[in-house]
Structures are given as C-alpha cells and as structure tokens.
Amino acid sequence: MTRVWLPDAPDKFGALPPGIEADVWAGGEDLPASADQVEYVVLPFGVKPEIIRKIGTLPSLKTIQILSAGADHILPHIPSHITLCNARGAHTASTAEWTAGVIIASVRNFPRFAVAQRDGRWDYAQSEPVGGKHVLIVGYGDIGAAVERRLAGWDVTIERVARHARDGVRAIGELPELLGSADVVVILVPLTDETRQLVSKDFLRAMKDGALLVNAARGVIVDTDALLEALSSGRIRAALDVTDPEPLPVGHPLWQAPGLLLTPHVGGAIYEGRERAYQVVSQQLARLAAGEPLRNVIGDRGY
C-alpha cells in the first residue's frame, strides 16, 4: 500500500485507486500519525515555508504535489531527492480567460467607462479596435496556447516566444527585435533566475508607443519602478494580475498609475478552481497506483 496525504476528504478526489491509503492533512504543524510512511503529499494552499521544510525531512516521502501551476514559492524549500509536481492544466482556462479579458477591456477603454459609471458621468470616447492587433505571447506553454485559442476570433496576429525556439515559436533571446512591432505583450513565463525582472527598463523601452503590457505570471518578472516610469510617461499601458510587492500595500504608486488595469491575483480564482486542481491530483493518484510515471514534474529550473 502507498500512503498519501490529501488536503481534503478523500472522496473529494473521487474513488481512491486500489493500493492507495490516504490521510487528511490540512497544512498545520501537527502531522498525521503516518508521517514515517507517507510517500506522496499534496500541499494545501497557503502552507508556511517552515512547514514545507519540515515535510521535506519525512523519511519515506518521494513526491510533493502542489495545487497551483507556479512552483517558485515551493522550490527553495524542497530537497533535491524529492520530486515536485504542479497542477499544470488546472488553472489554464481561467488564466487564459483573464488574459483575453483584460486585453479586450484595456484596448476598448472599459476601465475608463467603469470609473465614469461610478461617478455618474456620460463619458463618451472612441477607442482602438482589438482586431488587427499584433499580440506577442512571451512564455508559450499550456496557458499561452489557451490564450491564442481565445483570441482566435478577434482577427489578431499572434507571435509566440518560449525559452527555446521550435516550430512556430521564437526563442526568448529574440525578444529585443520582436517587442517593437507588438501592440500587446503578454507575460506568461515561469519565475526563474533568468526571468526575474525580465521586463526591465530596456524591455519596456523596446516596446512600441501605445503598446499594452499584460502580466499574468509573477509580479517580480516586471521591474516595478521601470514600469511606473513608463506608465507615468503615458507611453505604454498595462494590465496586471500580479505585482511586486504583492499584495500591493496601501498607498503604493501603482494604485494611481495612469493607463493601468489592476486585479488582485485572480486569474485562477474561479469557483471551480479547487475542483479542477483536485482532478489533477486524482489523475496522479491513478498513475501512482499503476506504477506509471507522474506528470507535471518540475525540474530544478522551474519548468
């Protein structure tokens, strides 16, 4: 029998496959009595770093499964002998919906009209069309492909960028020559040493005047001071679901930055989000019971 820890009642993950025994662990300091036997742990949302490090010392533990796609907040606390798996796919649709939504809202001036509605003003204004825009997706993985599918009917041109070039996808090293032609730049890269502050002052300067920056990845991928300077000049616009720092403190200048549509890290925050992540876990448990390789394994580079 393989002992696993789940963050919720086992029936929330469907029928457990033969050979799997589960305990419920909600992420607290008090661990189940099976701490010496557990081989596969699903980390609940919001587990403190010191608890993650404690889990990493369990003698039989082989795999830690997270319920999010991003693993940057977990990786520093996981010993190298433990496999880390993410919930790739669980939040793809919702994050892609957010991305497509803020592109359309920003280009068509919806934030301006929402403010006017709040103030009771009839603020007629024209806007640019979405159709005809050149969209550069930086980080073309599962979510990037889903964004492209959702924009397919809007008559936009899509350019794709990933860490390595492949058919139809440019290498990230080509960004300097691609940014100047993009009307919309979507950031979907994972956080690694290479992508931290990828969106620097030079990156922003290379963007064309009037372009829209969309960040649905991690806040620290963008240099906040450089972005504030670019927004304050009116040269570009931005839509952010993530910020640095996060949560954004009261009085931070980003709250008042012109041309910015800001949401509080809600790209994956849909009512069905937890259930979709649990479906990924259920599939992993079936593979574990069958002795098959687990999916969504995170390497030491984070992707």
The three-state secondary structure class of 20 is strand
62, 78, 58, 84: which is closest to 2 by C-alpha?
Answer: 62
Which one is catalytic: 112, 196, 246, 252?
Answer: 246
**Would residue 218 show up in a list of annotated catalytic residues for this protein?**
yes
**Would residue 121 show up in a list of annotated catalytic residues for this protein?**
no
Residue type, 113: F
Q: What are the backbone angles phi and psi of residue 169, rounded to the nearest 5°? A: -130, 130
Residue type, 133: K
Task: Report the C-alpha gap between 238 and 79 in whole angstroms.
Answer: 37
Give CA angle at 168 (163, 174), nearest 5°.
Answer: 45
**Would residue 292 show up in a list of annotated catalytic residues for this protein?**
no
Asked if residues 103 and 135 have their Cβ atoms less than 8 Å apart, the reply is yes
Q: Would you write out the chain's pLDDT as a tens digit for each of its 303 residues?
A: 999 999 999 999 999 999 999 999 999 999 999 999 999 999 999 899 999 999 999 999 999 999 998 888 899 999 999 999 999 999 999 999 999 999 999 999 999 999 999 999 999 999 999 999 999 999 999 999 999 999 999 999 999 999 999 999 999 999 999 999 999 999 999 999 999 999 999 999 999 999 999 999 999 999 999 999 999 999 999 999 999 999 999 999 999 999 999 999 999 999 999 999 999 999 999 999 999 999 999 875 444
Q: Is it true that the peptide bond before 247 is cis, omega within 30 degrees of 0? A: yes
Which one is catalytic: 265, 274, 287, 292?
Answer: 265
Using alpha carbons, list the distances in angstroms from residue 168 to 85, 165, 176, 253.
28, 8, 18, 39
Which one is catalytic: 88, 218, 237, 276?
Answer: 218
